[in-house]
Amino acid sequence: MRLLLISLDAVSRVDADRLLRLPALLALKGEGVFCDNVQTVYPTITYPIHTSIITGCWPEAHGIGHNQPFQPDTAPEMRKWFWEEGDIGRKTLHRAAKEAGLDVASVLWPVTGKSSSIRRNFPEVLPLPGESAVRKMLAYASPLWILHMELLYGRQRRSIRQPDLDDYAALLCEKLYASCRPPDVLTVHLVDCDAMRHRFGADSEEAYAAMERLDGRVGRMIEAVKKAGLYEETLICVVSDHGQQNARETVDLDKLLKDACGARAQSLGMGAYIFGNDLAAARKCLQENKELFRIGHIYGKEELTALHAPKNVSLAVDAAPGVRFGESAEGHLGDHGFAADAPEAKTLWWLAGPGVRRGATLPEARVVDIAPTLAYAMKLRLPDAQGRVIGEAFG
Model confidence pLDDT, tens digit, residues 209-251: 999 999 999 999 999 999 999 999 999 999 999 999 999 999 9
Residues 260 and 237 in one domain: no
Residues 257 and 210 in one domain: no
pLDDT at 57 (0 to 100): 98
The residues with which 190 forms a beta bridge, in sequence order, are 8
Q: How far apart are CA 172 and CA 196, in angstroms?
A: 22
Residue 50 lies in a domain: yes
Q: Quick check: bond before 354 cis, omega within 30? A: no
pLDDT at 366 (0 to 100): 98
**Are the CB atoms for 266 and 72 separated by under 8 Å?**
yes
Residue 225 lies in a domain: yes
The whole-model pTM stands at 0.98
CATH number for the domain harbouring residue 313: 3.30.1360.110
Residue 91 lies in a domain: yes
The string of pLDDT tens digits covering residues 371-393 is 999 999 999 999 999 999 999 99
Statement: residue 318 has pLDDT above 90: yes
**Are the CB atoms for 268 and 295 separated by under 8 Å?**
no
Residues 256 and 232 in one domain: no
The string of pLDDT tens digits covering residues 106-163 is 999 999 999 999 999 999 999 999 999 889 999 999 999 999 999 999 999 999 899 9
Q: How many domains does the structure of the chain reveal?
A: 2
pLDDT at 100 (0 to 100): 98
The string of pLDDT tens digits covering residues 9-39 is 999 999 999 999 999 999 999 999 999 999 9
Residues 79 and 123 in one domain: yes
Q: How far apart are CA 260 and CA 315, in angstroms?
A: 16
Statement: residue 331 has pLDDT above 90: no
Residue 23 lies in a domain: yes
The string of pLDDT tens digits covering residues 74-87 is 999 999 999 999 99
Residues 223 and 270 in one domain: no
Rounded to an integer, the average pLDDT of 342-360 is: 98
Q: How far apart are CA 381 and CA 377, in angstroms?
A: 11
Number of H helices, E strands in the chain: 14, 17
Handedness of CA 151, 153, 155, 159 (dihedral sign): negative
Question: Residue 182: which domain range?
Answer: 2-245+354-393
The string of pLDDT tens digits covering residues 159-182 is 989 999 999 999 999 999 999 999
CATH number for the domain harbouring residue 200: 3.40.720.10
Residues 240 and 296 in one domain: no
